[in-house]
Amino acid sequence: MSSHPAVEAAPDPARSRPSTTPRLRWGRVALATVAGVAVHSIVFTLLFGNPLVRGLLFTPESGQVDLVVDFWHGSPAPALTPFGAVEPGPRVLVVMAGLTVWLAIITAAFELVRGALPAGLWRRGLAVGAAAWGITYVFFETWVPYNVLHEPLPLVGLELALEAVGMLAVGLVLSAVLHERADRPRSGEA
């Protein structure tokens, strides 16, 4: 560097550029994860636990294979079902921990790509809900219930539709918690 006042060092371009690296707002991610787990649990219980859906999906008359019906009504029963905890204890905690980790990963991924998603709370929420549904449920339903357990395709379709509704609700909640003023669409955008 020169000591002459007319000669100044050129600014460092790395310091003058704004960072394009997405940042994780860990507090918001944690809050959104907790909210997402709560909404997931409530919405999926309402969707899959109502008497109409239970009669369509979880009875021998539904066309489900015996394994699926036994899974829900047999012994030992799952620790957690769409109808609530069957067996309170450590197994329920493990299932809820798995749900929490899964939604934390989805939430963190959403936070990292938030700027690349459509602007606006609703659009972003529906986009992340649809992406999470497609990545998680479409694969699972076509691989396990349809392919492995030979569940009838109409039942797989019903389950996928219900899961889509549930994940769109979760996506909207994640979007609401992670939303910032800068995320809002500009005037003229929907």
Instruction: Tell me the per-residue pLDDT of 138-179, one tens digit each, with 9 for 90 and over.
Output: 999 999 889 988 888 998 999 999 999 999 999 999 999 998
Query: Residue holding tokens 């076509």?
Result: 142
- Residue 141 falls inside a structural domain: yes
The whole-angstrom separation of Cα 63 and Cα 72 is 14
Q: Which residues contact 174 (CB under 8 A, 6 or more apart)?
A: 32, 35, 36, 106, 107, 110, 125, 128, 129
Residue 40 three-state SS = helix
pLDDT at 182: 57
On the question of pLDDT at 72 being above 70, the answer is: no
pLDDT at 122: 95
Residue-wise pLDDT tens digits, 16-64: 555 566 788 999 999 999 999 999 999 998 998 888 888 887 776 776 6
On the question of pLDDT at 135 being above 80, the answer is: yes
- Residue 50 falls inside a structural domain: yes
- Range 45-66 burial, b when 16+ CB lie within 10 A, else e: bebbeeeebeebbbeeebebbe
pLDDT at 136: 96
Q: Residue 106 is part of which domain span?
A: 25-55+95-179
Q: Among 120, 116, 119, 106, which residue's Cα sits nearest to residue 171?
A: 106
For residue 9 the two structure tokens come to 């060092």
pLDDT at 186: 54
The whole-angstrom separation of Cα 15 and Cα 62 is 64
Residue 119: phi and psi, rounded to 5, are -70, 150
- Residue 162 falls inside a structural domain: yes
On the question of pLDDT at 74 being above 90, the answer is: no
Q: What is the pTM of this model?
A: 0.78
Residue-wise pLDDT tens digits, 96-119: 999 999 999 999 999 999 889 999
Q: Which residues contact 142 (CB under 8 A, 6 or more apart)?
A: 156
User: What's the structural domain count of the chain?
Assistant: 1
